[in-house]
Structure 1
Amino acid sequence: MMRRAHRAYRRMGVLNVPRAAVLVIACALAAVLAAGLLEAGYAGAQRVTLPPIKVGVLHSLTGSVAIAERPINDATLLAIEEINAHGGLLGRKIQPVVVDGRSDWPTFAALARRLLSHDRAAAIFGCYTSASRRTVEPIIERLHGALFYPTFYEGMESSPNVVYTGSAPNQFITPAVKWFLDNRGKRFYLVGSDYVYPRSSNAIIKDQLARLGGQVVGEAYVPLGASDVRGLVRKIVKARPQVIISSIVGDTNLPFYRALREAGATPQRLPVLSIVMAEAEMQFLRPAEMAGNYIAMSYFQSVGGASNEDFVRRFKRRFGAGSVISDPMQSAYESVQLWAQAVRRAHNVEPSEVLKAIRGQSFDAPEGRIWVDEENLHAWKRARIGQIRADGQVDIIWESETVLHPVPYPPSRTRRDWNGMLHDLYTGWHNSWARP
Structure 2
Amino acid sequence: MPDNAAWKIGLLFSTSGVTSIIERSQLNGALLAIDQINSRGGVLGRKLEAISYDPGSIVPRYGELAEKLILEDKVSVIFGCYMSSSRKEVLPVVERRNALFFYPTLYEGFEYSPNVIYGGACPSQNSVPLANYLMGNYGHRIFFVGSNYIYPHESNRVMRNVLRQGGGEVVGERYFDLQARESDFRNVVEEIMEARPDAIFSTVVGQACIEFYRAYHAAGGDGRTCPIASLTTNEGEIAAIGAEASVGHITAAPYFRSVNSPANRRFLKAYGDKFGSTSDVTSCCEATYSQVHLFAKALEETGEMDTDNLREALLGATFDAPQGQIKIDPDNNHTYLQSRIAIVDEQGEFVVDLKVRRALKPDPYLVFPAIHDWSFRTDKVAASGSRNA
User: Whose Rg is larger?
Assistant: 1
Instruction: Find the aligned partners of 1:97 and 1:320 in 2 and give their Cα distance.
Output: 23
**Shift in Å at residue 268 of structure 1?**
2.3
Instruction: Find the aligned partners of 1:218 and 1:269 in 2 and give their Cα distance.
Output: 18
Letter in 1 for 2:59: W
Question: % of aligned pairs identical?
Answer: 36
Instruction: Output one character per residue of 1:275-334: Cα deviation in whole Å (capped at 9) or x when no partner.
Output: 111112323332431121111101001111111111111100110135342101000000
Instruction: Find the aligned partners of 1:224 and 1:287 in 2 and give their Cα distance.
Output: 23
Tell me: CA distance 1:324–1:64, structure 2 relative to 1, closer, same or farther (3 Å): closer
Contact 1:297 1:385 in 2 (8 A): yes
Where does structure 2 lack aligned partners over 5 or more consecutive residues? 370-389
Letter in 2 for 1:156: F
TM-score (norm 2): 0.91
What residue number does 2:121 align with? 167
Instruction: Output one character per residue of 1:329-376: Cα deviation in whole Å (capped at 9) or x when no partner.
Output: 000000000000111111212222111110000111111111110111
What residue number does 2:134 align with? 180
Letter in 1 for 2:11: V
What residue number does 2:362 align with? 406
Selected match of 1:312 from 268, 273, 292:
268
Pairs within 5 Å for 1:79-228: 79-227=33-181, 228=184
**Shift in Å at residue 225 of structure 1?**
1.6
Instruction: Output one character per residue of 1:135-166: Cα deviation in whole Å (capped at 9) or x when no partner.
Output: 11111110000111111111010111100111
Instruction: Find the aligned partners of 2:315 and 2:200 in 1 and give their Cα distance.
Output: 37
Instruction: Find the aligned partners of 1:392 and 1:139 in 2 and give their Cα distance.
Output: 40
Is the aligned partner of 1:70 residue 2:24? yes
Higher deviation after alignment, 171-180 or 346-355 = 346-355
**Shift in Å at residue 122 of structure 1?**
3.2
Contact 2:235 2:279 in 1 (8 A): no
Selected match of 2:241 from 261, 273, 285:
285
Selected match of 1:269 from 225, 232, 236:
225
Tell me: CA distance 1:197–1:280, structure 2 relative to 1, closer, same or farther (3 Å): same
Q: Between Structure 1 and Structure 2, how many residues are aligned?
A: 367
Contact 2:76 2:307 in 1 (8 A): yes
Instruction: Find the aligned partners of 1:363 and 1:197 in 2 and give their Cα distance.
Output: 27
**Shift in Å at residue 104 of structure 1?**
1.0
Letter in 1 for 2:142: F
Contact 2:118 2:335 in 1 (8 A): yes
Contact 2:103 2:120 in 1 (8 A): yes
Following TM superposition, the consecutive aligned residue runs of length 4 or more in structure 1 with deviations greater than 3 angstroms are 321-324
Contact 2:55 2:65 in 1 (8 A): yes
Instruction: Find the aligned partners of 1:281 and 1:73 in 2 and give their Cα distance.
Output: 16
Instruction: Find the aligned partners of 1:285 and 1:208 in 2 and give their Cα distance.
Output: 29
Instruction: Find the aligned partners of 1:224 and 1:197 in 2 and give their Cα distance.
Output: 12
Contact 1:301 1:324 in 2 (8 A): no
Selected match of 2:304 from 339, 345, 348:
348
Instruction: Find the aligned partners of 2:360 and 2:277 in 1 and give their Cα distance.
Output: 33
What residue number does 1:434 align with? none
Contact 1:191 1:245 in 2 (8 A): yes
Is the aligned partner of 1:325 residue 2:281? yes
TM-score (norm 1): 0.82
What residue number does 1:298 align with? 254
What residue number does 2:189 align with? 233
**Shift in Å at residue 260 of structure 1?**
1.3
**Shift in Å at residue 412 of structure 1?**
7.9
Instruction: Output one character per residue of 1:11-60: Cα deviation in whole Å (capped at 9) or x when no partner.
Output: xxxxxxxxxxxxxxxxxxxxxxxxxxxxxxxxxx96xx732111111011
Contact 2:263 2:322 in 1 (8 A): yes
| RMSD of aligned residue pairs (Cα, Å) | 1.5
Where does structure 1 lack aligned partners over 5 or more consecutive residues? 1-44, 414-436
